[in-house]
Amino acid sequence: MIPLTRNLSFAFSVALIVATSLTQAHTEDTPPTAMKMAMKPGPALAATAAFDAEGTLWAVRSEAGHILLQSSQDAGSHWSPSVKINAEPESIAAEGDGSPKLALGPQGELYVTWTKPMTKPYTGEVRFARSLDRGKTFSPPLTVHADRQEITHRFDALAVTGSGQIVVAWIDKRDLEQTKKNATDYRGAAVYFAVSDDRGATFRGDYRLADHSCECCRIALRVDGNHEVIAFWRHVFEPDIRDHALARFSTDGTVKEFRRATFDEWHVDGCPHHGPAIARDARGRLHAVWFTGAEGKAGVYYGRLIDGAVAAQRKVGAGTAAHADLAVTGRRVALAWKEFDGQRTQLFGEVSDDGGEHWRRIALAQADGPSDHPRLLVRGNDFHVLWNTEKEPMRVVALK
């Protein structure tokens, strides 16, 4: 694998230098030039949040070896004291695309996943804990996957189906490791998933969703009915094209559909730590936002995913736009992303009231120091953005 930065356009090179969450490509022989391009690790700012049906905002983040839970009754203006989800401290990877995840069950359950790094570089376990009493107590953490090799099980994603089943997906390198033993080639990593039928007491799997995923970009999961889920991730298409794939799968482990979803033709041998987002609107259309570093068109893009093409694809923000998120409620669609102007990071949003046909752009906030990726939240028919920054922790901004 060659250093990621040698294949990037100028726009993405700038974004790589200034974004605190972008690190070097996943390779154990990364040359010094790529190491110099990577930012030094900053504070663990990665946080995730969700509104429940009663309007309470729940959020998780990491600190000093613990995953912490907080809640807010006023959309983030005031937060409750933190509750430790894992009583015993452990190593936690909580930055950028590797943030802890939070999902809500149909009876008010709180489900949380995170990645626990292991001794070897780029290895990890996907951990899970649950609360059945609205965050008062949590179960001892368990490891989701049956495979316990000291390899990559990282970049977890979490969803709860309409029937209450819990789905956890992650990036997995067991197949890559096996091909190394057989002296054969293997592109990237793989996406695996596991399912719980008993509110997180146990998990079954591991089910392979797809070979040849990118090694370190987040997976976007969206529930598609009572027993099916849609996954959207950066994929390594032959020979070295890192665009995106979409799959629909059932909680019985069956993959119902797999197809290429974006067509930017980004030829690169490295991982940008820059995953996508996806949501379905009231008309059944799939809206997506993603990043590409393809020659001549590097940047963040929005589009509607259709079979074999992308409808209404357009560039979002300026040349340094990065780490966009997306949410949908009814026919309303919202985007949020951040940009670096050479001095500070700015948070922007866009809203469409007609399913993505027309948009209005809003400048939301700015930060002088390190910041997490923006996380879009839905409350009824309204949008909010969680933006955790070093100087203004757990800030929530309305996106109207």
pLDDT of residue 211: 98
Q: Mind listing the pLDDT tens digit for each residue in 174-201?
A: 999 999 988 889 999 999 999 999 999 9
pLDDT of residue 189: 98
Q: Mind listing the pLDDT tens digit for each residue in 25-42?
A: 443 333 222 322 233 345
Mean pLDDT calculated for residue range 17-30: 37
In the three-class reduction of DSSP (H, G, I as helix; E, B as strand; rest coil), residue 16 is classed as: helix
Q: Which of 25-29, 107-111, 178-182, 205-209 has the lowest mean pLDDT?
A: 25-29
The b/e string for 297-327 (b: 16+ C-beta within 10 A; e otherwise) is ebbbbbbbbeeeebeebeebbbbbbbbbbbb
Give the pLDDT band (50/70/90) at residue 18. Answer: very low
Q: Which domain holds residue 210?
A: 4-399
pLDDT of residue 183: 81
Give the pLDDT band (50/70/90) at residue 43. Answer: low
Check pLDDT > 50 for residue 10: no
H/E run at residue 35? helix 32-37
pLDDT of residue 395: 98
- What is the number of domains present in the chain? 1
Q: Mind listing the pLDDT tens digit for each residue in 331-362?
A: 999 999 999 999 999 999 999 999 999 999 99
CA dist., res. 314 & res. 310, Å (int)? 10
Mean pLDDT calculated for residue range 86-115: 97
Check pLDDT > 80 for residue 146: yes
Mean pLDDT calculated for residue range 210-218: 97
pLDDT of residue 230: 99
| Residues 75, 390, 290: CA angle, nearest 5 degrees | 75
For the chain, the average pLDDT equals 91
Q: Which of 35-44, 93-102, 164-173, 349-358 has the lowest mean pLDDT?
A: 35-44
CA dist., res. 217 & res. 209, Å (int)? 16
Q: Name the nearest CA neighbour of 69 among 90, 56, 83.
A: 83
pLDDT of residue 39: 36
Using the structure block, give the residue that is written with the tokens 């910041």. Answer: 371
Give the pLDDT band (50/70/90) at residue 129. Answer: very high
CATH number at residue 66: 2.120.10.10
pLDDT of residue 15: 42
Check residue 215 and give left, alpha or beta (phi > 0: left; psi -120 to 50: alpha): alpha
Check pLDDT > 80 for residue 17: no
CA dist., res. 245 & res. 258, Å (int)? 7
Other Cβ atoms closer than 10 A to 396: 20
Check pLDDT > 90 for residue 2: no
The DSSP 8-state label assigned to residue 6 in this structure reads: G
Check pLDDT > 90 for residue 295: yes
